[in-house]
Structure 1
Amino acid sequence: MTRHGQVIGLAPDKVAEYRRLLAAVWPAVLARIAASNIRNYSIFLKEPENLLFAFFEYHGTDFDADMAAIAADATTREWWALCGPCQRPFETRRPGEWWAEMDEVFHVD
């Protein structure tokens, strides 16, 4: 199992819309996430800075293939088309990222 943290900005005028979307994530999107071996997935919002922080655990053996399966899923891409305009990716993110991956610098069980 590996832990992942990600961060992205949220447009100030889209906070209510984004909260509404995440309050009713489509079941097919959740099923695709689970099928790609993601567990313990949470997204947090820090206001007034409007930063989104995501955390999840990956329980599979081929992270890249599982992430590609999510990205190839038509329903997930429709979902992203709704959520994407709310988000503000960082200019400093790595090539190919939308949400910026974060390095884990501390963990305790």
Structure 2
Amino acid sequence: MAARLRPELRERYLELHRNVWPEVEATITACGIRNFTIFVTGDVLFGYYEYVGEDYEADQARMAADEATQRWWAETGPCQLPFTEGSDAPNWEPLEEAWHLD
């Protein structure tokens, strides 16, 4: 997935991620996400994670209902823009897989 940072909020976003709240990390893990990494180059973000659960939609709904995660998104969301200008995505846009090596 990819997103852009609002240049004026770039450092705020990076600071938040240097100190991710433990309860947010716990929810992410409880919802079946592993090996989650966010890469940054300039004002562009790329995110990658592996899902090991059995019901992705239900786990995503559980994460979205979590109070700490909602507060986290309220802090991080304003720092982000969709990757593609004019996109209706709130911020992160999924990427289409072009190649994968197991």
Length-normalised TM-score, structure 2: 0.91
Match of 2:15 in 1: 20
- Gap change, CA 1:103 and 1:93, over 3 Å in 2: farther
Find the aligned partners of 1:78 and 1:92 in 2 and give their Cα distance: 24
4+ residue segments displaced more than 4 Å: none
Equivalent residue for 2:76, pick from 68, 77, 83:
83
The question of whether the paired residues in 2 share the 8 Å contact of 1:93 and 1:99 is answered with no
Residue 103 (1) aligns with residue 72 (2): no
The question of whether the paired residues in 1 share the 8 Å contact of 2:32 and 2:53 is answered with yes
1:108 shift after superposition: 1.2
Match of 2:6 in 1: 11
Match of 1:58 in 2: 51
Match of 1:37 in 2: 32
Runs of 5+ unmatched residues, structure 2: none
Find the aligned partners of 1:100 and 1:93 in 2 and give their Cα distance: 9
Find the aligned partners of 2:18 and 2:87 in 1 and give their Cα distance: 29
Instruction: Summarize deviations over 1:46-98 as a string: whole Å, max 9, x none.
Output: 11xx111000000011000000111010110000000011001243356xx64
Length-normalised TM-score, structure 1: 0.86
Q: What is the aligned length? A: 100
The question of whether the paired residues in 1 share the 8 Å contact of 2:77 and 2:91 is answered with no
Where 2:98 maps in the other structure, the secondary structure is: coil
The question of whether the paired residues in 2 share the 8 Å contact of 1:42 and 1:55 is answered with yes
1:103 shift after superposition: 1.1
Runs of 5+ unmatched residues, structure 1: 1-5
